[in-house]
Copies of this chain bind each other. A is one copy, B any other.
Amino acid sequence: MSVEVHPLRGLPEVTPGDDLAALIVAAMSRAGIRPANADVVVVTQKIVSKAEGRVVPEQPDGKAAWVARETRRVVARREELIIAETRHGFVCANAGVDASNVPQGALSLLPIDPDGTAEGLRAALERATGVRLGVVVTDTFGRPWRRGLVNVAIGCAGLPSLVDLRGAADANGRPLEVTVVALADEIAAASGLVMGKADGIPVAIVRGLSLEGKPTPAAALVRPPEEDLFRTSADAPP
């Protein structure tokens, strides 16, 4: 089955307290995108943070004080760049504090509970549309050994964030070695193809997936410390 990734245009500027589900349903209607069973609604962190009041003023030191507040653990640091673990367990630049697509003088912080946001959105969107949906909240992360940024999932509801193929066989009937696929991250990255960082398109609809399997949150994507071989940097000690 083919998968389609549709940008959702025409959302208004989001402000604190806005009902994102209602805004998304209205924009889908205006765009002629009729919700279908198993659609995944992908929403950037930025509009979630705006709706949830997680846009804050820059301080005299710029973002440093906010980064420190948002950091649970510094993983690596080099000059201005801080790679930090957030309270959610995500490891990313500046603990997710970011100045793009917010007004001059403001910074956005990651949502407090992006899985909770995803679940709330999913329930509200399902009530409004009458179809079964998934929701993924994305942010744009770097990777240690690869240049460039990709969208990843920081919130997930209505689908398994990880698909465990252990026990499944490959096309030769041999047990698969590659066993656990980060479905929510693949969906997030696919949505990045239409969200275009400069275009201000904060929502995409991914259609054609199977959402079968027990739904799991994006928290399940966080590698636990005992599995983490790169908990601290030997090259740039914190």
Contacts and interface: CB of A to CB of B under 8 A. Distances in A.
Interface string A1-16: 1111111000000000
Nearest to A101: B170
Most chain B beta-carbon contacts within 10 A, residue among A7, A151, A171, A227: A171
A60 interface: no
Interface stretch (A21-29, A118-126, A138-146): A138-146
A36 interface: no
B229 A181 contact: no
A85 B146 CA distance: 12
A214 interface: no
A68 to B, nearest CB: 18
A144 to B, nearest CB: 4
B178 A197 contact: yes
Interface string A212-236: 0000000011110001111111111
A143 B4 CA distance: 26
Contacts of A194: 1-3
Given A182-B146, A189-B185, A190-B190, A176 B100 contact: yes
